[in-house]
Structure 1
Amino acid sequence: MQPIPIKTTVVGSLPFPGWLEFASMNLAQLGPTDVAEMIDDAVIAAIHDQVAAGLDVITDGEQTRLDFNLSFYGFIKGIQNDASETRKYGPPAHDQRGKNSIVALLSAPNGLGVVEEYKRLKRLAPVGQGLKMSIPGPYTLAGRLNPGEFYKDRWEITEAILPLVSKEIANLVALGCPEICIDEPSMSCYAYREDTKRFVDIFNRTVAPGVGKTRLSMHLCFGNYKGRSVGKKTIAPMLPDFLDMTVDELHSEMTILNFAEVNLLERFAEQFDVAVGVIDVKSYYIETAADVAERIRKILPYVPAEKLAVAPDCGLSQTARWATKLKLKAMCDGAKLVRGEV
């Protein structure tokens, strides 16, 4: 199949509809059938918003996740939330997400829930629509867990989580999931100070069950907690080691960098397809199609159109739904403008 030039996609998350947030705070008033219907309706809404915008590849909007990675702790046995550590007031920052203690060896006997999410997406999405599922990688998942009696540091926790993620990937592959995106923002946030070769080894072992069996993509960003970044905003430290990732497509934020390092994308394009952030999810300036087209033209000298996908910088869970719909439509319209040129 011919690749779609300047393919349009998203990272994974979309904002919750307001009614879903309200219902989630009042679950005691709902029965099991109500909850199942609510979940389907939320995913249908996410699908609608993406299809209406014109996206080539969509997700379920991560509508069943209360957080892109913390929700997974509910599937992993051996974790106890430490609510007392969480800062309750003041400006938003990552410490408000809290930490969790490990009280037993980590396991996920019933999986991590992504298989069920994919089955739902496939059942509800239009026939022929490009689909992908996102799952956080083990290093990122280890980030809010306190080492203790069972694991001495984040690296050991990562190794304990790695087979749990790998098994979920294997199960998605067995179901024919056409694309699996591994979210590892912690790797891009800390590439400037940690062992990047170790990151590559962890990633490659994690995705091993999917290599050659599905399309594998990787999302790298600088964090997005309530519209705030957390990492050092530069992709330079990822090179050259990240070129050894076993992946088909690598996604990087770029709009938040004001395209300052756009030339470095040429290095990534030597090894992978490249998804590039052309929408600022942390701003309520609504991009126009012309804005997006201008940004894409800045990328094309370094990434060929047939290897390029465009997406928002990061997931859209922290962006209001009204703005998300406008931004995605502008992104798709801008991509069409430049497709006509190339």
Structure 2
Amino acid sequence: MQPVPIKTTVVGSMPFPGWLEHATQHLDQFGPADVNEMIEDAVITAIHDQTTAGLDVITDGEQTRFDFNLSFYGYIKGIENNDTELRKFGPPAHDQRGKHTITQPLTAPRGLGVVEEYQRLKRLAPADQHLKMSIPGPYTLSGRLLPGEFYKDRWEVTEALLPMVRKEIEDLVALGVEEICVDEPSMSCYAYREDTKRFVDIFNRTVAPGVGKTRLSMHLCFGNYKGRSVGRKSIAPMLPDFLDMTVDELHSEMTILNFSEVHLLERFAEKFDVAVGVIDVKSYYIETPDDVAERIRKCLPYVPANKLAVAPDCGMSQTARWATKQKLTNMVAGAKIIRQELGLV
């Protein structure tokens, strides 16, 4: 599915409404019915913000995920929060994120919850709206898990998680989901130092149930904890091996790179559709439609319009809602400027 040239979309997450942020800190004050109502209201809010902005493809905003990994760890048996933080003070950094210890072989008897998220989104979204669901890949999902005595290293933990993610993809495909985005930012963060061929093998085995049955996209970024990257900000180490990914669309940050490697997108466009980050989620500068149009012009010599999608660099969960709404609205307006210039509307 590529609804229009220069498709407008998001990675997955949207900011929580302020009331939801408050409620998550006081869940003991709410009953199950209250919580279910809040979840639905939050998803409706995320849908509203995306459709009002005019996005071609939307998600549920990941409103039920209180943390990128932690919400999934709640579905996985054999994990214990060791409540250890290396550092609790100073500027926010990735070493302030706690780790979890594996205490027994990992299983996910209830799945990972994405099926239920999709069913809710499908029920609440406009009937003619293009939808996609995002799910973290097993390598990224393993990042905050300490192997314990059951697994030798992160690679073995990844292999234990892989069947769980693959099964979730299989179940989503069976429900007819239109697009599945597999988030693997850890692969792009560490492509400069790890075995990229091994990354490709892991990814391709993970998405196997969706190949040829749904649109598969892959999100790559350099980390975004409190607006800070963690990886070396370059897509060059991903080449040429990442060209062997079994995927329909590959998403890369580009605004954070000041488009310095935009020429490398030509390599990706030879194999895939390319979603380019044209909105900086780590800045409160609100891009104008003309800013967005200029960034899209930088891409067009390397990615044909019919293969190009535009999106924020990363998920919007850590960007204020007021800024997110305006950034997305202007992104859509910028894409329309270029479509008009190219005679595509």
TM-score greater than 0.5 by the shorter chain = yes
Percentage identity across paired residues of the two chains? 82
TM superposition shift of 1:76? 0.5
TM superposition shift of 1:3? 4.5
Once the two structures are overlaid, the 10-residue window that deviates more, 188-197 or 21-30, is 21-30
Match of 1:66, SS state, is: coil
1:192 paired with 2:200, answer: no
TM superposition shift of 1:70? 2.4
Partner of 1:156: 156
* Separation (CA, whole Å) in 2 of partners of 1:134 and 1:2: 17
Contact 2:3 2:56 in 1 (8 A): no
Match of 1:278, SS state, is: strand
TM superposition shift of 1:317? 0.4
1:328 paired with 2:328, answer: yes
Match of 2:226, SS state, is: coil
Contact 1:83 1:99 in 2 (8 A): yes
Structure 2, unpaired ranges of 5+: none
Describe the shift of the 1:2–1:312 C-alpha distance in structure 2 as closer, same or farther (beyond 3 A). closer
Output one character per residue of 1:290-327: Cα deviation in whole Å (capped at 9) or x when no partner.
Answer: 00000000000000000000000000001000000000
Output one character per residue of 1:132-162: Cα deviation in whole Å (capped at 9) or x when no partner.
Answer: 0000000001110112210000000000000
Match of 1:89, SS state, is: coil
Contact 1:8 1:57 in 2 (8 A): yes
* Separation (CA, whole Å) in 2 of partners of 1:314 and 1:95: 20
Partner of 1:268: 268
Amino acid at match of 1:276: V
The 5 A counterparts of 1:130-209 are 130-209=130-209
TM superposition shift of 1:2? 7.0
* Separation (CA, whole Å) in 1 of partners of 2:28 and 2:147: 34
* Separation (CA, whole Å) in 1 of partners of 2:207 and 2:97: 27
Partner of 2:128: 128
* Separation (CA, whole Å) in 2 of partners of 1:113 and 1:86: 30
Partner of 2:311: 311
Amino acid at match of 1:141: L
TM superposition shift of 1:103? 0.1
Partner of 1:245: 245
TM superposition shift of 1:28? 1.3
Amino acid at match of 1:41: D
* Separation (CA, whole Å) in 1 of partners of 2:61 and 2:177: 16
Match of 2:318, SS state, is: coil
Partner of 1:8: 8
Output one character per residue of 1:268-302: Cα deviation in whole Å (capped at 9) or x when no partner.
Answer: 00000000000000000000000000000000000
Partner of 2:85: 85
* Separation (CA, whole Å) in 2 of partners of 1:257 and 1:140: 22
TM (normalized to structure 1)? 0.99
- The alignment of Structure 1 onto Structure 2 pairs a total of residues equal to 342
Output one character per residue of 1:214-260: Cα deviation in whole Å (capped at 9) or x when no partner.
Answer: 00000000000010000000000000000000000000000000000
The 5 A counterparts of 1:100-115 are 100-115=100-115
* Separation (CA, whole Å) in 2 of partners of 1:159 and 1:138: 7
TM superposition shift of 1:88? 2.0
TM (normalized to structure 2)? 0.98
Contact 2:12 2:62 in 1 (8 A): yes
Amino acid at match of 1:236: A
* Separation (CA, whole Å) in 2 of partners of 1:7 and 1:248: 14
Match of 2:225, SS state, is: coil
